[in-house]
Homo-oligomer: A and B are copies of this chain.
Amino acid sequence: MILSALLTSVGINLGLCFLFFTLYSILRKQPGNAEVYAPRLVAEGKSQQSSNFNLERLLPSAGWVTRAWRPSEAELLSTSGLDAVVFMRIFIFSARVFTFAVIVGIFILLPINYMGKQLSLDFLDLPNKSLESFTISNVDDGSNRLWIHFSAVYIFTAVVCYLLYFEYDYISSKRVSYFYSSKPHPHQFTILVRSIPASSGRSYSETVERFFSEYYPATYLSHWVVRRASKLQGLIKNSKRLYRRLVNLKSANHDRERFGRAGFMGLFGERVDLLDHYEKKLEDIEDNVRAEQSSCLGKEVGAAFVSFRTRFAAASAIHMQQGVNPTQWVTEPAPDPEDVYWPFFSASFLKRWISNLVVVVACILLTVLFLIPVLIVQGLTHLEQLEIWFPFLKGLLRIAFVSQVITGYLPSLVLQLFLYVVPSIMIMFSSIQGYIAMSQIEKSACIKVLWFTIWNIFFANVLSGSALYRVEIFLEPKNIPAVLAVAVPGQATFFIAYVVTSGWTSTSSELFQLSTLVFNFIKRNICRKYDDEFEVPSVPYHSEIPRILLFGLLGITYFFLAPLILPFLLVYYCLGYLIYRNQLLNVYAPKYETDGKLWPIVHDSMIFSLILMHVIAIGIFGLKKLPLASSLTVPLPILTLVFNSYCRRRFLPMFKSYSVESLLKKDKEEQNDPTIASFHERLATAYQDPALLHGGYSGNSGNSASIIAPLLSTAEVDA
């Protein structure tokens, strides 16, 4: 790639970004799009858009930028929770790292690379200069100037480590103060006990009661045994869907739509009054629900939520092995009631252990072999193949422009589609693994997606060749530096372009929310559904964080190889900071909290990036015939690992659990609080399955009048 080509690409993508910004600033002012661009404000009732038409609505403006910039971190914390703050700290931290990197890289390393003569490309003028001449490949072999790169690697590592330490310290103290300022939450007082041993002639509930009132007589409060309620949940889902359809039918108010066929998909069977038909059906289901609810109460599972009087008692029960057999009475912190995720719940220790193993294997296979099916599908999208499948397109496909677009875009579209489903697959894996909370599942999926991304985007591009070839490289650790030193600089220009195209554009499209916009448009104008119950989305950390961290990895590894990548990354992080702040304030609302537990993932990823840079540096200096520098780099990864191991001892425990000091401080504060008694009462029922509490839409009396009454009233309000 030559410099002018890069500049063209930058220009195009800058243009795209501005287009997105302009469109966003116009579209967000249209009242119909409030649910797309400010669902959070709509849900909170803060959306102050008048539906009156005025000219200002059609003019682009940059007011959202200042509004996104203005709130302090404390305000962000109070509105979006600690996870959002931690998420924004990734941008702040990365911006700091790359500000330093830009200064060193652009003002010191870049001129040195450019002055080299290794690639002997100096007959070209600047715009036609290959980007290679800005990389370390252009420095002469054995040149003493490489010592500047060597020092830069050392200094950069020191700076990143200092910033990492500072950030870890900052976030862990934030976590503690967030805990101190929190109101009493059920999950702070509750533990989840699994693998309760079955004892003959006694229900699980009695066993739990007996065990905990014997061993924690002073602090044990109550318990709630988990019930197998998947059938009930299915029934309730059905009744909900029917209820929605009834609401729609009422609100449509067309007699034409009121009559239809009762059979499959409304196509078969006799014509009936759908309103009557659905009402009857809903009633049937609700009867079933009530029958199932009472039978469910008997279907106990060997797991229970056990609540204690104090946070300290709950924490001490979590940390100690309860039963003599460590595979029984397994305790873990309970998630918040809204955070509990039931579908794959399993009480048995052995079952969970096996599913854990299976998931680990599946995850490794998916990560390593992911590109194989992608390549097969990409092979199927060749022009000839398309012509055979869709003969009527033959004329169209023969047009040069169309064929170029298809051959150019289709393979990458296939890859994008495959990549798009990976986070959901990882979420599924993590939920099978036996996590009980959505937040735990998301955290675990985040780690999986991160490794997946690093392997399938970084290593797959760097080490071209079959998946097995890439795995084999890592089976011969001795050769890794040499292999990487040859392969990584070769992909510098690709990754510069990647940052500009994928990084910049994905961030601005995050602002623009194309898919939600289209979906919303279709729903309103074609399906004519005016659903009151729209859901405010939460940030999909498990797909966003790995992407942001991948760019960090690129920046750190290419810092001394191809410093030209750094300014583009800095722009990416600044853009990201602004845009995600805006989104957090307007779009996303937190559904559950991990209380900042995502930071250790960021920290580990940064350490991995540093080590990768060091390994490449060892290889590069060897390749550049400066073996002394190569050997002198060897202590650097070791020192970094030592630093990391210190951080793990110093900070990681604070992200795992709270200290006795913190727990008892909170407990003592509430000792004389009169509201704590009522909170304790509420604890007893906090963890009941919502399915068991479902009261039904048709009311308990069960007559059809009570169904129609609320429906009519909502229809009237809508009108």
List the interface of chain A (C-beta within 8 A of B): 176, 214-215, 315-317, 319-327, 329, 349, 353, 357, 472, 475-478, 642, 646, 649-654, 657-662, 664
Contact = CB atoms under 8 A, between A and B. Distances in A.
Contacts of A657: 320-321
A476 B479 CA distance: 9
Nearest to A321: B659
Contact of A475 (B319, B478, B651, B664): B478
B321 A649 contact: no
A215 to B, nearest CB: 5
Interface centre among A320, A323, A477, A649 (most CB of B within 10 A): A320
A323 B661 contact: yes
A325 to B, nearest CB: 8
A642 B324 contact: no
A322 B661 contact: yes
A315 B322 CA distance: 12
A660 B322 contact: yes
A321 B663 CA distance: 10
A55 B652 CA distance: 72
Contacts of A651: 326
Contact of A476 (B317, B322, B477): B477
A649 B356 CA distance: 13
30 contacts: A176-B324, A214-B664, A215-B660, A215-B664, A316-B319, A316-B320, A317-B660, A320-B657, A320-B659, A321-B654, A321-B657, A321-B658, A321-B660, A322-B659, A323-B659, A323-B660, A324-B654, A324-B659, A324-B662, A326-B650, A326-B653, A326-B654, A326-B659, A327-B650, A349-B649, A353-B646, A353-B649, A472-B478, A475-B478, A476-B477
B326 A649 contact: yes
Nearest to A652: B326
Nearest to A349: B649
Nearest to A475: B478
A478 B176 CA distance: 47
A64 to B, nearest CB: 39
Interface of A is mostly: helix
A320 B660 contact: yes
A478 B478 CA distance: 11
Contacts of A477: 475-477
Contacts of A646: 353
Contacts of A659: 320-324, 326
A263 B568 CA distance: 81
A478 B477 CA distance: 10
Contacts of A324: 176, 654, 659, 661-662
A547 to B, nearest CB: 31
A573 to B, nearest CB: 31
A357 B642 contact: yes
A315 B315 CA distance: 13
A170 to B, nearest CB: 14
Nearest to A350: B646
Interface centre among A321, A357, A642, A652 (most CB of B within 10 A): A321
Contacts of A176: 324
Nearest to A474: B477
Nearest to A315: B320
A173 to B, nearest CB: 9
A664 B320 CA distance: 12
A646 B658 CA distance: 29
Contacts of A327: 649-650
Nearest to A650: B327
Given A353-B649, A478-B475, A661 B316 contact: no
A662 B325 CA distance: 10
A651 B349 CA distance: 13
Contacts of A660: 215, 317, 320-323
A320 B327 CA distance: 21
A321 B661 CA distance: 8
Contacts of A476: 475-478
Nearest to A656: B321
Q: Which 10 A-B pairs have the closest CB atoms?
A: A326-B653, A319-B319, A316-B316, A321-B659, A475-B478, A322-B660, A476-B476, A324-B659, A320-B660, A215-B664
Contact of A321 (B317, B323, B653): B653
A297 to B, nearest CB: 29
Contacts of A662: 324
Contacts of A658: 321
A196 to B, nearest CB: 13
A659 B321 CA distance: 5
A69 B623 CA distance: 68
Interface centre among A326, A349, A357, A657 (most CB of B within 10 A): A326
